[in-house]
Amino acid sequence: MPVSREQLLAQIADESTRLLATDASQLSFSIPHIEAWTVGDVLGHTGWVARYVTLLQTATPENPPARSAIPTPPAGSDVLVWASEGLQDLGIALADSDPEVMRPSFAGPQKAQWWVRRMAHELSMHRWDVAAASGTPDPIDPAISVDGIDEIFDVFVPTRMRFETLGGTGEVLHLHSTEEGAGAGEWTAALHPDRVDWDHSHTKGDVAVRGTASNLLLMLWSRIPASRLEVFGDATIIDRWQEAAAF
């Protein structure tokens, strides 16, 4: 079931609050699964993206703002204020946006609602990143996770997948969420040399992965290894996915 605009906006507000609760003493902590990144780097990146996406909400597809319009994030504890200001402006801009108006995006012209969905997932993932630097992070919301898996296949595979690294020859990847209710879901993806064909069918795969919706999403984003889930069949397909899908 699609996640509503209201749910996505609420997720943006909640994950923004959780990100901004980061203590300044944690800014130098390393992100264990992202080489050379610290908590401060994630907050700087998040503040930068928030500012750029805010600009996009008043831009036309024909005239997107230059990325150089957003300055480099500040160093040290100033990054917390930077992120706070950016996320506050973003929340207002997205809530006030007309969901049907076309805006620029890295996937071509999209309705403004596309960015509401994208930023709900962006902030959920980076909140998880920051929390992972200092302990065991809370899982991502089940309904958001299910939609996030759809978004990977909808948006990131066509635009960012390194197909030469994936090396697909028709292998079938099957994902099965072990949750019920909003977190339930199945995905079947056939990996080809230049595309991934996918749907929500229950189909036997060359590799099948079972776990919570959050863990399936985190695995597809290369945040956690497949060994954290149940894997049946050819696990090297997951290894290839994680190498090729460093989105």
Q: What tokens appear for 184 in the block? A: 């339930």
Q: Is the pLDDT of residue 1 over 90?
A: no
Phi, psi of 217 (to 5 degrees): -60, -45
Smallest Cα–Cα separation from 97: which of 65, 52, 56?
A: 56
The domain 5-132 having CATH identifier 3.90.1150.10: the answer here is: no
User: What is the sign of the dihedral through the CA atoms of 214, 218, 224 and 228?
Assistant: positive
User: Residue 89's pLDDT is what?
Assistant: 98
Number of Cβ within a 10 Å radius of residue 164: 10
Confidence of residue 2 (pLDDT cuts 50, 70, 90): confident
Query: Is this structure's pTM higher than 0.85?
Result: yes
Smallest Cα–Cα separation from 18: which of 142, 136, 135, 127?
A: 127
Three-state SS for 22?
A: coil
Mean pLDDT of 177-183: 97
Domain boundaries, the chain: 5-132, 142-244
CA distances from 45 to 40, 53, 62, 128 (A): 9, 12, 25, 14
Per residue in 73-132, pLDDT (tens digit) is 999 999 999 999 999 999 999 999 999 999 999 999 999 999 999 999 999 999 999 999
Q: Is the pLDDT of residue 177 over 90?
A: yes
- Percentage above 70 pLDDT, the chain: 100
Q: Which residues contact 192 (CB under 8 A, 6 or more apart)?
A: 168, 169, 170
The domain 142-244 having CATH identifier 3.30.1330.60: the answer here is: no
User: Residue 124's pLDDT is what?
Assistant: 98
Is 142-244 in the same CATH topology as 5-132? no
> Is the Cβ–Cβ distance between 141 and 124 less than 8 Å?
yes
Per residue in 38-80, pLDDT (tens digit) is 999 999 999 999 999 999 999 999 999 999 999 999 999 999 9
Number of Cβ within a 10 Å radius of residue 214: 26
